[in-house]
Amino acid sequence: MNFEFSDDVTTMREEVHRFLTEQLPAGVVRQRIDAGARFDEDLWSKIAEMGWLGAAIPEEFGGVELGYEALCMIAEELGRALPSVPFASSIYLAGQAIVLFGSQAQKTGYLPRLADGSLIGTFALAEGAGDPKPNAVHARVTAGRLTGTKMPVFDGMVADFAVVAAQAEAGEPGLFIVDLTAHGVTRRAIESLDLGRAAAEIQFDGATAELLPLAQDWHAVTALLDRAAILFAFEQVGGAQAALAMALNYAQNRYAFGRPLAALQALKHKLADIYVLTELARSNAYFGAWALDSNAPELASAAAAARLSANEAFYQAAKENIQIHGGMGFTWESDCHLFYRRAKQMAGNLGSARYWRNRLIDRLLTQNENIKAA
């Protein structure tokens, strides 16, 4: 029985943690946002140099193939540090789509450049409000040309290409690679709740679209979402942990009525509850990491449980972090809002909690039926 990260990953975590702490001292994430940067390009190139982008990309395609456990750990540390980089869009979504569903040529063409950071990818699924459903996809590819509008596409302004969900000529929506710098693509920046993950609306008007050969049906979309949900869950657990630490630090150092806020039982119980939510979310994320790494049959239910628990833990931690900071937490400079904003961005990005709860229950019911039939 070993339900912990491997020693290698644990050692690497120290490095990752130290690096991010050095690169992003308190306030820096916000200052770079304030400076109007599209994203933190300096950090992005350093992250690429460290090899993190290629953690789950096979060596033959330019990755370092550290495995999913390592990628989960990196996700958790990034969630804690909250940098403005398109890591989730480019690596968990676009990169994984190509790893899972791409042809040899597509892998050779894209993965090495995703791994070295010279190319940024994103995932274009949503077409306005609602959850990921095949009948909500109206974008269409006809004779290799994509038409339709995707909104929001996170990191859509900085990405070089997108993996786009669109209806093929027959059947269910599949996944296509589209060069966002090519003819037939118009994008405009739209305001996003998450300041570190700028969104775009992208209009496709006959843009060249190249099918990912193993992603010809909706199955591919849900498989991608499941895997991304686990990586998202690690970011959310990292975010929850950081928001909890921040609240705790403030409560320990701010005095009222002659003692630290942290001495008040109302605050002790509140933070104890957030600690419990975070630990349950972490445990579910761990199981997700195991399922991801071993491609287990439980992957779908593990992903849903990881995502739902992590959503809740991150949101509660971020929300109560503002509350515990009092008026100070309501100011721009407190940075509390960065967690609060990201918690909500991440909770919606892969589909709402309602959508994931339904998927979880559906999945458990079929798992049960399968067990009965066997």
Residue ranges binding other proteins (CB under 8 A): 1-6, 69, 248, 251-252, 259-260, 262-263, 265, 267-269, 271-273, 275-276, 279-281, 283-284, 286-287, 289-290, 293, 304-305, 308-309, 312, 354, 356-358, 360-361, 364-365, 368
Angle at 245 between CA 241 and CA 246, to 5 degrees: 120
Smallest gap from Cβ 281 to other proteins, in A, equals: 7
- CB-nearer residue toward other proteins: 198 or 237: 237
- CB-nearer residue toward other proteins: 193 or 280: 280
Angle between helix axes 265-294 and 68-81 (nearest 10 degrees) is: 150
In whole angstroms, give the CA distance from residue 88 to residue 133: 21
- CB-nearer residue toward other proteins: 42 or 273: 273
Contacts of residue 28, Cβ cutoff 8 Å, sequence gap at least 6: none
What CA–CA distances, in Å, run from 113 to 90, 160, 211, 215, 286?
A: 11, 11, 19, 21, 29
Say which residue the tokens 């540090």 belong to: 81
Contacts of residue 43, Cβ cutoff 8 Å, sequence gap at least 6: 23, 24, 83, 84, 85
Smallest gap from Cβ 125 to other proteins, in A, equals: 22
The residue type at 294: S
Smallest gap from Cβ 318 to other proteins, in A, equals: 17
How crowded is residue 168: how many other Cβ atoms within 10 Å of its Cβ? 17
- CB-nearer residue toward other proteins: 37 or 353: 353
Smallest gap from Cβ 280 to other proteins, in A, equals: 3
- CB-nearer residue toward other proteins: 6 or 31: 6
Smallest gap from Cβ 222 to other proteins, in A, equals: 17
- CB-nearer residue toward other proteins: 35 or 373: 373
Contacts of residue 248, Cβ cutoff 8 Å, sequence gap at least 6: 262, 271
Smallest gap from Cβ 223 to other proteins, in A, equals: 20
